[in-house]
Amino acid sequence: MVDGDLYLVDTGLGVVRQIAETRLPMNRLRAVLITHLHSDHFGELPGLLMYNWGSQSNGFVEPFRIIGPGSAGALPAGAATVVDPATPGTVDMVRSFMSAIAYDVNIRVQDEARPPLDDLVQAVDVTLPAGIPATAQGELSPAMEPFEIYRDDKVRILASLVHHPPVFPSYGFRFETPHGVVALSGDTAEHPNMAALARGANILVHEAVYLDYYRGQNLAPAALNHLAESHTEPAGAGRTAAAAGARQLVLSHLAGVATDEQWASPAQQHYTGQITVASDAQVFNL
């Protein structure tokens, strides 16, 4: 939140209930940003739209943007076509959601005098800078400088590709505000692009995976390999925070079960700043 306005990153499992319980001011929503199109990062987007729309629930009545990845261009090499070979981006995904809930929307506009949802939801695909391949068949996370994807009177938001194979595009975000800078990794393996995105940030919110937990869960080798190759262990998050010169590291989107000490200790070996293992509804001030 910046001076009362709300910017929401990802809409995974539980976000609708958390919005209700924490009473986030959805009538001040300016933008929803989607890091990548894994279902645990967008799965409750339809619920967010339906349960936070209209003044009855302090919901949104003014237009806002949903900003996220464009089409991957093609499925990853070797992927089986189980459902459909299409690789829709954020605009196509939101359009499909809106079509799926059209009956409910149309009734409520007529019966409850809600503002037309189509007029409020403005979906946008992130456009990669010139020279960066816009297809999953190329390098997933080439070295790049952060680039602007959104700006208003409160914030400037930049993005950078991060490394979350086989997903493409997968982004981290940087929020530049008059009060300071917050960077969020999304899902990523340890990668220099994330350090560049978080350069000088007041707070770096970084994902983390505790692989020792999964090694004891009898996972299929492919599943364990995905966790190792596509996510960051706490030590890697510490190295990224140190390389960025971030003032505080917040470990979040925690994959696995571990104590706070088991999460933080490996990061502390590489980063001397403040480290917090995040919990639901926690608030950090700039």
Question: Are residues 186 and 121 part of one domain?
Answer: no
Question: Are residues 186 and 119 part of one domain?
Answer: no
Q: What is the pTM of this model?
A: 0.95
Other CB atoms closer than 10 Å to residue 240's CB: what's the count?
29
Structure tokens at 188: 């990523």
Burial 128-139 (b: 16+ CB within 10 A, else e): beeebeeebeee
Question: Considering the domain boundaries, does residue 146 fall inside one?
Answer: no
Whether 182 contacts 202, CB under 8 Å: yes
Closest to 19 in 3D by CA, of 206, 68, 29: 29
Question: Are residues 17 and 108 part of one domain?
Answer: yes
Question: Are residues 258 and 195 part of one domain?
Answer: yes
Which residues are registered as beta bridge partners of 125? 68
> Tens digit of pLDDT for each residue in 83-108?
778 889 999 999 999 999 999 999 99
Structure tokens at 69: 């990845």
Q: Which pLDDT belongs to residue 58? A: 86
Count structural domains, the chain: 2
Question: Considering the domain boundaries, does residue 266 fall inside one?
Answer: yes
* Domain carrying residue 127: 1-79+88-134
Q: Which pLDDT belongs to residue 204? A: 98
Query: What average pLDDT does this structure show over 194-203?
Result: 98
Question: Are residues 62 and 9 part of one domain?
Answer: yes
Closest to 149 in 3D by CA, of 256, 68, 50: 68
Average model confidence (pLDDT) for the chain? 94
Q: What is the CATH number of the domain that holds 102?
A: 3.60.15.10
Q: Which pLDDT belongs to residue 80? A: 67
Rounded CA separation 251/58 (Å): 31
Question: Are residues 68 and 5 part of one domain?
Answer: yes
